[in-house]
Structure 1
Amino acid sequence: MKNLTLENITRVCRGTYHGDPAKLCQEVSGVVIDSRKVEKDNLFVAIDGENVNAHRFIPDTIEKGALCVVSHEDLGETDFPYILVESTGQALLDIAKLYRDSFDIKVVGITGSVGKTSTKEMIASVLAQKYKVHKTLGNFNNEWGLPLTIFQLNEEHQIAVLEMGVNHFGEMRRLSSVASPDICVITNIGVAHLEFFKTREGILQEKSQMIQDMKAGGSIILNGDDDLLSQMGPVKGASPVFFGTGDGNQFRADGIEPLGLRGTACNIHLPDGSSFPVIVPLPGAHMISNALAGAAVGYTMGLSAEEIKAGIEGLPSMPGRNNIIKTDRLIILDDCYNANPISTKAAIDVLSMAIGRKVAILGNMGELGSDECALHREVGTYCAEKGIDVVCGIGDLAKHLVEGASTDSTVETHWFESKADFLAEMKDIIQPGDNVLVKASHGMWFPELVESLQSF
């Protein structure tokens, strides 16, 4: 890998090399943290999990052909090279920074409370109309995932679109210092992770730290429909540009026409006064915001209106994220990757567009702090307001969600302690022809329900 010799890795990690000095000039072929994925001449970084000491797998990695190991444990005398560091987690970030800086490449950094991954996919789809794009793999957006994404860069790539997710103070700078973005995009400031950030202002403080690591001459692109982001002024000499449906946004959408579960039609206006009609192929008003973010980044990177339009309309769907699945008996809205009140309400908005009976299967939303019960109840009330016919809550917190939906006697409600309890009664609740939304926080593991519904 470019510039990743054992000598350079040791230096950037501020580590101590143990092994044959003749190997210091050798480049590793890849960087891995999963011992099962080690290949010849890889560097294995031994990062311990909550319940697993990764260092016990080091012999296996050497047997598989690893060139060197990064360890925070003193391994003593070994017959293989290793680099002793204070923290293997920090070492992974340091190595990724070294590798990222080896490329003369534009980087788009994306953060926000909700919509990071779908916005990343939209921006990548737009930029791919003109450039060779590398993007965050799935939701690999944390202190392990971001480096692993960066290690997949190669000489063919012209732009990297990197998603950054945080849930504690101080995490953003550790990510953004590695990414060194040229363009900073913030999708919104919601209530996700209030348990740790306490207030939306605290969330804004942490998310906006990404801009501090923006390269000189970079661009800041913000959601102008967000009350907090819209108030942000220049940072590091760069004035933000805004996207949204409001008149004050430089990238603006109007003429919005919902097309049910087929998506949404609208007109997108650019700062040069031009505009174009487009169909955003995934349903939901929030997808208009994603399309505008894609238009803003595309325009900043020199794409034409025609190229931006093609990128928006060519957006592929993703499992677990606003993914429409049609079976012989049901239409399933698979949005089960993760959940918070804002994203769940957006998914309910999409479900409300459907023709036929509307069923919401909703689970616990995590990390909402002391207001978690009230926020769940609020989502249940929202289901009733949007005309959802059946609300099924799964999990202890989802019981409050069902209570909120039950305030409207026309809504059929069910609460289940577990997925198994729901699956045992599913055939008595779901009917042929139903439109079914499935959504919960990632820890609930609702893809299992999507699979069962597809077999219904």
Structure 2
Amino acid sequence: MKHMTLSEIADACCGIYCGDPAFLDCEVSSVAIDSRKVVKDTLFVAIKGARVDGHNFIPQVMEAGALCSLSEQDLGDVDYPYIRVSSCTEALKDLAEHYRRSLDIKVVGITGSVGKTSTKEMIASVLSEKYNVLKTEGNFNNEIGLPLTVFNIREEHEVAVLEMGISHFGDMKPLAKIARPDVCVITNIGYAHLENLGTRDGILKEKSSMTDYMNPKGSVIFNGDDDKLKSYTSRDGRTPVYFGLTASCPFHVENIERKGLKGTYAEFVTPTSRFHAHISIPGDHMIYNALAGVAVGYALGMDNEEIARGIEKLVPIAGRNNLIEAKHYTIIDDCYNANPASMKSSLDVLAYADTRKVAILGDMGELGADELAMHREVGAYAAFKNTDVLVCIGALSKDMAEAAKETVLATEKNMKVFHFDTKEDFYQNMGQILKENDTILVKASHFMEFPEIVKKLSEEA
């Protein structure tokens, strides 16, 4: 990170410096909340979590080489410097906002109900063909993760691609104040977090507030096929640029050639040009991701050749439509998280397989009062997509299985449907359910811990 002195840090987070004044002009090398990631001259932020209180590690990290700690507690007469703050979490955000303002860098902010991470990966892959890019790693997209990502920006970086995740009203404002995006991308307005945000209109209101803190001369890039986004009217009169499969969108595709699990070829149409590219990861949702990448690339001055190379270099990451050729099965590992829209997109991908198609699906969380109806919707959809075997795991997924069975009876489909309360129950029966050379989709919300299933399928002797 760029240099920040302890004096500057104390001012930025309204803290009280405690310790030898000689250290006030010393500069920190990094910021960490994990004691295991402390290196020489790190600023350690003592976050108090549900299970672990970072304050307990302050003596340890100072001995390990940290320059200073942020603390909510009076540490008394200690022989190392610390900065006393009222809230370490708020101080972390204040400090990240201050640090972001010191950076001469373009920031792309990405939010949406579905596909934030895969869109972030695509946009970063595209921009990397011209710029030195930093991107959000893993799920560091909330009030703790975003500041830590911002602190990783170095002077050599030219663009930061930041994923911004919210689940409650008021979550976006502090993230947007930190990121100060030059380009705002919204992938869609779906049903994730309805439990907290009430309606899709509530989701739209919260996610679109990202634009309140963007560069006034920046670009707003929305999915034009989303009914909520295409009718969006900004409070400041800013007109979004739209991408989508619909020809009315300035950025769209034509002449789509779907190559099953080997991806998609398409002709990309921009307001001023056309070019062809191959998307290696299958599914129409990946076409949307690529279009978002094209629109962002144009906003940041890239040409068609650079953008096409970036699209074609994208490789899947674990848990995100990652195709695994295991000894006995082809596994579509898409188990990082789930909601109704992403479940349907993944079933669309499974439908491309030319072998027996098996979907192992689990519970979806944070769907609010309509959660059972939404699970039933996914079960019926699996039947309509001609899935051969549907395995539902979890309490909520019982309704998914029941709806699938009802659809099979009503439509005379041949899909076999199973329900298990736990993963362990499924493991005891999987030998009778799965067959050699099956293509298997694995997907559920994160709390279901379905990577365990992917590992078991991959390692099966």
Matching residue of 1:381: 380
Mapping of residues 181-220 of structure 1, within 5 Å? 181-220=181-220
Distance 1:107 1:143 in 2: 17
1:434 aligned to 2:438?
A: yes
Q: Which amino acid aligns with 2:63?
A: E
Q: What is aligned with 1:369? A: 368
Structure 2 CA distance for aligned equivalents of residues 103 and 374 of structure 1: 47
Q: Deviation at 1:35?
A: 1.2
Structure 1 range deviating more: 401-410 or 167-176:
401-410
Structure 1 unpaired stretches of 5+: none
Deviation at 1:108, TM superposition (A): 0.4
- TM-score, normalised via structure 1 length: 0.98
Distance in 2 between residues matched to 1:271 and 1:84, nearest whole Å: 53
Q: Which amino acid aligns with 2:453?
A: L
Residue 347, structure 1, aligned to residue 346, structure 2: yes
- The amino acid across from 1:437 in the alignment is L
Alignment match, 1:334: 333
Question: Which one-letter code corresponds to 1:276 in the other structure?
Answer: F
Give the residue type in structure 2 aligned to 1:134: L
Q: How many residue pairs end up in the alignment? A: 455
Q: What CA RMSD, in Å, does the superposition of the two structures yield over aligned residues?
A: 1.1
> Distance in 2 between the 1:270 and 1:388 partners?
36
Report the equivalent of 2:310.
311
1:235 CA displacement: 4.9
One-letter amino acid matched to 1:352: A
Conserved in 2, the CA contact under 8 Å of 1:225 and 1:244? yes
Distance 1:233 1:305 in 2: 30
Task: Please state how far the C-alpha of 1:73 moved relative to its aligned partner.
Answer: 1.7
Secondary structure of residue in 1 paired with 2:27: coil
Q: 1:449 maps to what in 2? A: 453
Q: 1:2: how far off?
A: 2.1
| Structure 1 letter corresponding to 2:351 | S
Q: CA deviation at 1:280?
A: 1.1
How far did residue 126 of structure 1 move?
A: 0.6
Residues 70, 83 of structure 1: 8 Å contact kept: yes
Q: Is the 8 A contact 1:45 1:70 kept in 2?
A: yes
Q: Distance in 1 between matches of 2:424 and 2:9?
A: 48
Q: Which amino acid aligns with 2:215?
A: K
Q: Distance between the aligned counterparts of 1:9 and 1:423, measured in 2?
A: 52
CA contact (8 A) 2:129 2:309 kept: yes
1:77 equivalent in structure 2: 77
Task: Indicate if the aligned counterparts of 2:28 and 2:41 stay in contact, CA closer than 8 A.
Answer: yes
SS of the aligned residue for 1:436 comes to strand
User: Structure 2 matches for 1:49-60, cutoff 5 A?
Assistant: 49-60=49-60
Which residue is equivalent to 1:12? 12
The match for 1:135 is 135
Please say if residues 2 and 155 of structure 2, whose CA atoms lie closer than 8 Å, have aligned partners that are also in contact: no
**Cα shift at 1:66:** 1.2
Correspondence for 1:276:
275
Question: In structure 2, do the counterparts of structure 1 residues 301 and 235 end up closer, same or farther at CA, with 3 Å as the change threshold?
Answer: farther
Counterpart pick for 2:427 among 423, 428, 439: 423
Secondary structure (helix, strand or coil) at the match of 2:227 reads coil
Find the counterpart in structure 2 of residue 105 from structure 1: 105
2:415 to 404, 411, 419: 411
Cα drift, residue 234 of structure 1: 4.6
Question: Relative to structure 2, which stretch is displaced further, 120-129 or 251-260?
Answer: 251-260
Unaligned runs of 5+ in 2: none
- Counterpart amino acid of residue 348 in structure 2: D
SS at match of 1:438: strand
SS at match of 2:204: helix
Q: Where do residues 151-300 of structure 1 align in structure 2 (5 Å cutoff)?
A: 151-272=151-272, 274-300=273-299
Contact 2:3 2:28 in 1 (8 A): no
Counterparts of 1:391-406 in structure 2, within 5 Å, are 391-406=390-405
Aligned to 1:47: 47
CA distance in 1, matches of 2:249, 2:390: 37
Please say if residues 3 and 29 of structure 2, whose CA atoms lie closer than 8 Å, have aligned partners that are also in contact.
Answer: no
Distance 1:96 1:142 in 2: 13
Amino acid across the alignment from 1:22: A
Report deviation, 1:237: 4.8
Matches of 2:20 and 2:173, distance apart in 1: 35
Q: Distance in 2 between matches of 1:236 and 1:184?
A: 14
Q: CA deviation at 1:15?
A: 0.9
Asked whether the 8 Å contact 1:218–1:238 carries over to 2, the reply is no
Distance 2:424 2:322 in 1: 23
Aligned runs of 1:85-96 on 2, under 5 Å? 85-96=85-96
CA distance in 1, matches of 2:459, 2:369: 38
1:275 and 1:233 map into 2 onto residues whose CA distance is 29
How many Å separate the matches in 1 of 2:34 and 2:423?
Answer: 30
Matches of 2:454 and 2:141 in 1, distance apart?
A: 24
1:124 positional shift: 0.5
Q: CA deviation at 1:236?
A: 3.4
Deviation sequence 1:419-442 (CA, Å, 0-9, x none):
111112211111101000000111
Matched residue of 1:271: which SS?
A: coil
Q: 2:247, 2:253 within 8 Å by CA — same for their partners in 1? A: no
Give the AA of the match of 2:190.
G
Helix, strand or coil at the partner of 1:267: strand
Which amino acid is 2:47 matched to? I
Cα deviation per residue 1:206-256 (whole Å; 9 max; x = unaligned)? 000100010120110000000010012355353211000112211011222
CA distance in 1, matches of 2:74, 2:405: 59
Q: TM-score, normalised by structure 2?
A: 0.97
Cα separation, 2, equivalents of 1:102 and 1:26:
18
Partners of 2:74 and 2:426 lie apart in 1 by: 50
CA distance in 2, matches of 1:10, 1:24: 9
